Amino acid sequence: MNSFQGGYLSITLVALFVFLHSGQAIATTQTCDAYFGPSNDPRRNYCSSDGTRYSCGVNSCKAGDRPWSSVYFQNCYLIVNKVVTTKRKNEVYPIQYHNHWWTVDAQDIHDRKWYSCSYTRDVPDDLNAQRPS
């Protein structure tokens, strides 16, 4: 191989290296569409979206411009033995949740009980459609 070909090979390898590693430098925001909750590490939460599980710092998650700790779901119904009851709670501050089709099951940080909260994605101000990112 002459030096001319070696130069092209070096440039090609450098370009390939930069291309393959450029995706790691791009910061993306993850939205917790499926699940959100605590981890074994009290400083971290788990988040799941599109089949991928993420870990995030407890204070790093926000809903819009508000910290996740101030977010609540409204007009939710108590779940007992996997059955949604008629006992309503006006505000549920979620420590964790599981998202379902048009409902979110959320565990309240205060009483540790689970509640079912319906939502509509088509309504931009629907509090129950909020998800941390």
In a domain, 10, yes or no: no
In a domain, 90, yes or no: yes
Q: What is the pLDDT of residues 44-89, one digit of tens each?
A: 888 777 888 888 777 777 777 887 788 899 999 999 999 999 999 9
Beta strands 94-100 and 103-108 are: antiparallel
Average per-residue pLDDT for the chain: 77
**Encoded tokens for 122:** 């088509």
Count of the separate structural domains present in the chain: 1
In a domain, 121, yes or no: yes
Exposure of 12 in the CB half-sphere (CA atoms within 13 A): 6
| Full domain range(s) for residue 97 | 35-129
In a domain, 99, yes or no: yes
Read off the pTM. 0.70
The residue among 77, 116, 81 whose CA lies nearest residue 99 is 116
